[in-house]
Amino acid sequence: MRVVIAGGHGKIALLLESLLTERGDQAVGLIRNPAQVADVQKTGAEAVVCDLEAASAGDVAALLSGADAVVFAAGAGPGSGVPRKDSVDRAASVLMAGAAERAGVRRFVQISTMGAGQPPRPGTDEVWAAYIAAKTAAEDDLRSRGLDWTVLRPGGLTDAPATGLVRLAAPPVPRGTVPRADVAAVIAALLDDAGASHQTLELTSGDSPIAAAVRGVS
Ligand SMILES: NC(=O)c1ccc[n+]([C@@H]2O[C@H](COP(=O)([O-])OP(=O)(O)OC[C@H]3O[C@@H](n4cnc5c(N)ncnc54)[C@H](OP(=O)(O)O)[C@@H]3O)[C@@H](O)[C@H]2O)c1
């Protein structure tokens, strides 16, 4: 399977690239900073420089030619302001999904966040509100398309080692945290399971082995 990962130098993306290449899949990481090429290649993945805030749908569709799946793992990240929540967390996902349709790549896993899909809590600061609005709009866009989409909403991300044990279910899942390494392993399993398409799933640490958790939602 050839999997193109938007935001290919992200923390989850690098973990996912390693998992995919270890199991014999081809991973391609889209990055905007050429200085990150070596890190992506170290995982066994191919690195392609593509700034998702500057590329056209045609540019991205060409990069997706021959791919079997797309993972949207990009994000404006901490320290970014309102405009980049919209240009990355919403618009780059919309760009990738449109390009996937154009290129005929049906499988699309989007990393969203718990909290998306509902209005931000009263008193939320404007950057968090813009982030939630951007993730919600990206989810809505993806669900409206004729793709085999899965929206994955992790809880708070940690850099703790993988546990292999999660709680994965349709919303609402009680709030919690989850190691990025477990998120990457869940995505790798979701890519292998067409039954998980057309679902919005929330993810925290839990007590189900990942393979069983993914089978349970398929
Ligand atoms: N933090 C949390 O607790 C939490 C909880 C739930 C969900 N999430 C979401 O989970 C996702 C992945 O998390 P993570 O920790 O792996 O993220 P991360 O390490 O911040 O990675 C995001 C990646 O997106 C890339 N990116 C930004 N703008 C780009 C552009 N214009 N073109 C191409 N790539 C671009 C960044 O590259 P640069 O190095 O070039 O900036 C970065 O490598 C994010 O969407 C995040 O919002 C986070």
Among 111, 131, 134, 203, the active-site one is 131
Rounded-to-integer distance, Cα 88 and Cα 51, Å: 10
Ligand 1 center–CA 199 separation, angstroms: 22
Per-residue pLDDT for 73 more than 90?
yes
Cα 154 to chain centroid, rounded:
10
Q: What is the mean pLDDT of the chain?
A: 97
Active site residue 131: yes
Rounded-to-integer distance, Cα 94 and Cα 99, Å: 8
Q: What is the residue with the minimal CA distance to atom 6 of ligand 1? A: 113
Contact 10, 40 (CB under 8 A): no
pLDDT value of residue 194: 86
Ligand 1 center–CA 7 separation, angstroms: 6
**Ligand 1 atom closest to Cα of residue 75:** 45
Ligand 1 center–CA 74 separation, angstroms: 4
Contact 132, 144 (CB under 8 A): no
The mean pLDDT value for 147-173 works out to 98
Confidence of residue 144 (pLDDT cuts 50, 70, 90): very high
Lowest model confidence (mean pLDDT) among 16-30, 63-77, 119-133:
119-133
**Ligand 1 atom closest to Cα of residue 157:** 3
Per-residue pLDDT for 188 more than 90?
yes
The terminus-to-terminus CA distance of the chain in angstroms comes to 20
The mean pLDDT value for 69-93 works out to 97
Ligand 1 center–CA 120 separation, angstroms: 20
**In percent, how much of the chain has pLDDT > 70?**
100
pLDDT value of residue 175: 97
The mean pLDDT value for 80-107 works out to 98
The mean pLDDT value for 105-115 works out to 98
The mean pLDDT value for 198-208 works out to 98
Rounded-to-integer distance, Cα 44 and Cα 86, Å: 31
Q: What is the residue with the minimal CA distance to atom 39 of ligand 1? A: 9
Contact 30, 54 (CB under 8 A): no
**Ligand 1 atom closest to Cα of residue 72:** 45
pLDDT value of residue 92: 98
pTM of the complete model? 0.98
pLDDT tens-digit readout, 10-48: 999 999 999 999 999 999 999 999 999 999 999 999 999
Q: What is the largest CA-CA distance in the chain?
A: 47
pLDDT value of residue 122: 85
- Residues contacting ligand 1 via CB (< 6 Å): 7, 9-13, 30-33, 51-53, 73-77, 88, 92, 111, 113, 154, 156-157, 180
